[in-house]
Amino acid sequence: MMDSESKASVAVVSGASGGIGAAICRQLVGAGYRVVATARKPESLQLLQRELGDYLYPLVLDVTDTEAVKRVASAIPANFSDIGVVVNNAGHDVGGRRLFEEGSADQWCDIVDTNVQGMIRLTHALVGGMLARGAGHVINMGSIAGLKPYATGTAYVTSKYAVHGLSETLRLDFAGRGIRVTEIMPGLVRSGFAEQRLGDAQQAKDFYDSSAQCLDPDDVARTVLFALQQPRHVEIAQLVVLPV
Ligand SMILES: NC(=O)c1ccc[n+]([C@@H]2O[C@H](COP(=O)([O-])OP(=O)(O)OC[C@H]3O[C@@H](n4cnc5c(N)ncnc54)[C@H](OP(=O)(O)O)[C@@H]3O)[C@@H](O)[C@H]2O)c1
């Protein structure tokens, strides 16, 4: 079933080279969207393109690269240019799970730059067409870290609280102009995230294995489709998704 933005059935997904973002691409293509899949790793995007075929256009994009993000619309081919959905999913916690003074200030700042400023850049670069058309959907990947802080999570928690503030405020700015804004706040998801954060595959596996239950990336991807597939008068503002 196509969503209410069906006349502009292209979705741009950031952080699509693995984990939740790749799962979102699979489900969006399965639901009939054409998807522009963006991330920094070209090989992973190419693999996804091979898997999903012509409905997916792979585009290398670092959301911290201000100039590249400004040019993103011009890098998208004409048959993918009717963008009706932006899924701001790119994010990381590289260097996280350390006390504030033990982590590096550069890493803390990069977490915020990617998770928050990247979201601002990409949304700003793509929302013009949706506003002109009076239809669109911005989906921001928050986290339960944006609901309750924990020690050793300074930058990540800060970033996800900011995602919440950004999502709430965008919704107000876009009100009455056909653009819906949804914030998705997952709990623990088994993905590449912990390995990125900890820099070690075994530590990441141990981290997930020590949890009674994790979500799968597909569990989060389904909530994206759920928000998209609501009738135009229904805006799913926020979804908190937890493992049982
Ligand atoms: N895993 C969890 O427990 C969990 C829970 C709640 C929320 N989340 C959120 O879910 C989102 C996806 O995380 P995930 O769990 O799927 O982790 P993941 O498997 O590590 O995927 C993260 C994605 O973000 C991309 N990315 C990182 N930095 C980027 C940059 N500067 N520019 C563009 N893309 C960038 C990565 O691609 P490249 O390296 O190729 O650029 C990758 O595709 C994040 O926003 C995360 O905060 C995760």
Atom of ligand 1 nearest to the CA of 20: 16
Atom of ligand 1 nearest to the CA of 160: 47
Given 33, 57, 156, 161, the catalytic residue: 156
Q: Supply φ then ψ for residue 42, to 5 degrees.
A: -65, -35
Residue bearing tokens 């048959």: 79
The CATH superfamily assigned to 6-187+215-241 is NAD(P)-binding Rossmann-like Domain (3.40.50.720)
Q: What is the pLDDT of residue 1?
A: 45
Which residues in the chain come in under a pLDDT of 70?
1-8
Q: What is the pLDDT of residue 4?
A: 47
pTM of the model: 0.97
